[in-house]
């Protein structure tokens, strides 16, 4: 039988979250990536299924809380502007950054295959973990405790959004066309994972020499992340005077 996190790691992770779990096994499931549960394990169906259920729930809980906060902070904005802010705050990159900044990434248990692919640095994996953790907190302690965590970790990001951010695909397209390089081209490079939870790998290419990959749970999400990654690359190479975060 596959072991989940030990009690010492669970206590440390709980302290980082500021949540005392009544059912610590929920946090253990949330921090145990499905790749860590072998195919031969007799509880194979229970482990990954529980992680995915927590991830599913956490995604909805986070979305509700962020939407509530945006209505409070920006009472005069249109639905379109709120949606642009919302898209950034619940994006793969943002969720992964939250896990890293809280110091939780080191407590995530990955399988050998995911470790070999640098799972600890994989934003898509860490974003899934973030959603699962929020789902676990909600099930264990209720909405108010989950709201406290989200407000604590997201408030600075919300307040720093002076203007509604541009969609990364739009920002990339504008940059590319401004230099006469044409439209960015998006190409599906691979599709994996189970039927109910696929993972798409999308390559975005500009001109002849610029290409970057992005991974996501849908083609739309993967394209968005690929565009995000391209903008970051362009900024790092000094090709963007200013990056409008997506």
Q: Which residues are catalytic?
A: 59, 131
State the Cα–Cα distance between residues 108 and 140, nearest whole angstrom: 19
Which position has the token pair 């394209």? 223
Encoding tokens for residue 198?
Answer: 């696929």
Does residue 213 sit in helix, strand or coil?
Answer: strand
Q: Which residues contact 84 (CB under 8 A, 6 or more apart)?
A: 164, 165, 166, 167
Spatial CA neighbour of 223 closest among 246, 195, 200, 198: 200
Q: Which residues contact 80 (CB under 8 A, 6 or more apart)?
A: 164
Judge contact between 65 and 151, C-beta under 8 A.
Answer: yes
Judge contact between 36 and 115, C-beta under 8 A.
Answer: no
Judge contact between 131 and 150, C-beta under 8 A.
Answer: no
Encoding tokens for residue 204?
Answer: 């975005």
Encoding tokens for residue 110?
Answer: 């990955």
């Amino acid at each position: 039988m596959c072991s989940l996190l030990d009690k010492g790691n669970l206590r440390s992770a709980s302290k980082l979250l500021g949540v005392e779990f009544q059912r610590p096994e929920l946090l253990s499931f949330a921090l145990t990536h499905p790749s860590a549960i072998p195919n031969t394990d007799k509880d194979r169906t229970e482990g990954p299924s529980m992680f995915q259920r927590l991830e599913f729930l956490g995604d909805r809980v986070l979305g509700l809380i962020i939407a509530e906060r945006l209505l409070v902070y920006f009472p005069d904005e249109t639905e379109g502007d709120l949606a642009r802010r919302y898209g950034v705050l619940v994006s793969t990159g943002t969720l992964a950054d939250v896990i890293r900044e809280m110091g939780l990434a080191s407590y995530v248990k990955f399988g050998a295959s995911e470790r070999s692919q640098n799972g600890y640095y994989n934003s898509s994996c860490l974003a899934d973990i973030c959603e699962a953790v929020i789902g676990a907190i909600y099930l264990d302690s209720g909405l108010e405790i989950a709201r406290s965590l989200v407000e604590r970790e997201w408030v600075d990001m919300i307040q720093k959004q002076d203007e509604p951010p541009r969609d990364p695909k739009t920002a990339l397209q504008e940059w590319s066309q401004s230099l006469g390089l044409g439209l960015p081209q998006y190409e599906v490079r691979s599709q994996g994972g189970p039927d109910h939870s696929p993972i798409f790998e999308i390559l975005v290419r500009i001109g002849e020499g610029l290409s970057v990959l992005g991974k996501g749970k849908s083609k739309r999400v993967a394209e968005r992340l690929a565009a995000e990654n391209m903008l970051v690359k362009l900024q790092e190479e000094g090709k963007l005077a200013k990056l409008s975060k997506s």
